[in-house]
Amino acid sequence: MTEYTIEFDNEGYNIGRLAILEYQYKKVYISFSEIEIRSRNSSFQSFPSALSRYILEENPNKEICFYFLPDVTGNFETAYFIFMYRLMKTANVKFLNEDEYLDQQILPFITPEDIIAHKDKMRSRNPANKSTYITRSSDNKLQIFGKTYGANKYETTILCIAISEIAASEVELYEIEEGGLTKLPQKSKEAIESLGIVKIYTSNRTIERVDFEENNSLRSARYTYSLLEKLGDKKCAFCTCEIPQIIEGAHVWAVADIKRENQLTQDEKLDLALDGDNGLWLCQNHHKLLDVSILRISENGLLKYRTQISESAKKYLRSITTNSQLQREVITDGFLRYLRKRNQNIPEELYREMRY
């Protein structure tokens, strides 16, 4: 029999959940499932720190495994669990006894687009599932937006490590700070950054404020996150375009106009500029057409066009506008306040409904 050593990590979140087996110069990290599956929040709380430690392990002869312990109360196969297992497999985690506990075969994700599609599907089944969002920016960068405290930090950590395995180029992770809540655990950050693919940016009030004061077209991570939370993934409100690279966050009450409100403090202005109710996802065409007031949104959510344009322009507008009615969930009281501000100098009688 060959000699081996086992070390149990009893620090912090890992209490009793990580064993490190050292055997013939190889280090095997074994993470154990939680015994009681109570909620999605508690079910993966040990694993990310085990994964981070494994990644930061300097011995190149290493492996990370996951071992299911019999669960007393829960179900291992909810959509969320399957998603997490697939991320773990993508991050090269070896499952030691999945056959005993899972009916379906767990496959790794092949591309970041696979992950985006899977998340979309989960969200459409459970719209309350608001955690991390993955999308692409106008310059084709893969972007991850996430709250990085509480339960979401587990998902964000595993997601970033998994994506590092399959992304073809640099990925941006935006940590959305709120109310001074803590960021990703230091070890997670170190592990993610050590893989060299995901670059971490922090979005906080100070950074947002500088951006707000210097630019009229706010390219703010917080604003993008607010829109993702309210509206879901990038999709134009007035057509079928959902190509994220050409979908923009369009302010209803424009940033330049908010800045001119002298009776408001800078902080109040910033709040208005970052509010998810003050925005729509629009494709570049619909965004521009709205900004130059060729299009106008009525308070009932109906999109109308300016009558004093050419017949060919009207024809074109009808051809690109496949939906001229905003969804009811979008038209909140907050949204209407911004819309009234926008429309105050754009008389409704100059506009007409789209007819098809």
Task: Kindly list the residues in this chain that would bind Zn ion in the complex (CB under 5 A).
Answer: 236, 238-239, 241, 283, 286
Q: Is the Cβ of residue 107 or residue 243 nearer to Zn ion in the bound state? A: 243
User: CA quadruple 146, 148, 151, 157: dihedral positive or negative?
Assistant: positive
If you ran DSSP here, which 8-state letter would residue 325 be given?
B
Question: Minimum Å distance from CB 282 to Zn ion?
Answer: 6
Q: Is the Cβ of residue 64 or residue 280 nearer to Zn ion in the bound state? A: 280
**Nearest C-alpha neighbor of 286 from the set 323, 331, 255, 329:** 323
Tokens of 187: 């070890």
Question: Minimum Å distance from CB 340 to Zn ion?
Answer: 23
Q: Is the Cβ of residue 189 or residue 286 nearer to Zn ion in the bound state? A: 286
Q: Is the Cβ of residue 42 or residue 284 nearer to Zn ion in the bound state? A: 284
Question: Minimum Å distance from CB 317 to Zn ion?
Answer: 11
Q: Is the Cβ of residue 7 or residue 291 nearer to Zn ion in the bound state? A: 291
246 DSSP β-pair partners: none
Question: Minimum Å distance from CB 306 to Zn ion?
Answer: 17
The answer to whether the beta carbons of residues 162 and 88 sit under 8 Å apart is: yes
Tokens of 208: 């947002």
- List strands edge to edge, sheet with 26-32: 4-9, 18-23, 26-32, 62-67, 94-95
Q: Which amino acid makes up residue 334?
A: G
**Pairwise CA distance, residues 131 & 119, whole Å:** 10
Question: Minimum Å distance from CB 134 to Zn ion?
Answer: 22
Q: Is the Cβ of residue 200 or residue 283 nearer to Zn ion in the bound state? A: 283
Q: Is the Cβ of residue 238 or residue 338 nearer to Zn ion in the bound state? A: 238
Burial of 161 (0-12, 13-18, 19+ CB in 10 A): buried
Question: Minimum Å distance from CB 248 to Zn ion?
Answer: 10
Distant-in-sequence, close-in-space partners of 46: CB < 8 Å, separation ≥ 6: 13, 14, 15, 17, 18, 31, 32, 34
Question: Minimum Å distance from CB 283 to Zn ion?
Answer: 3
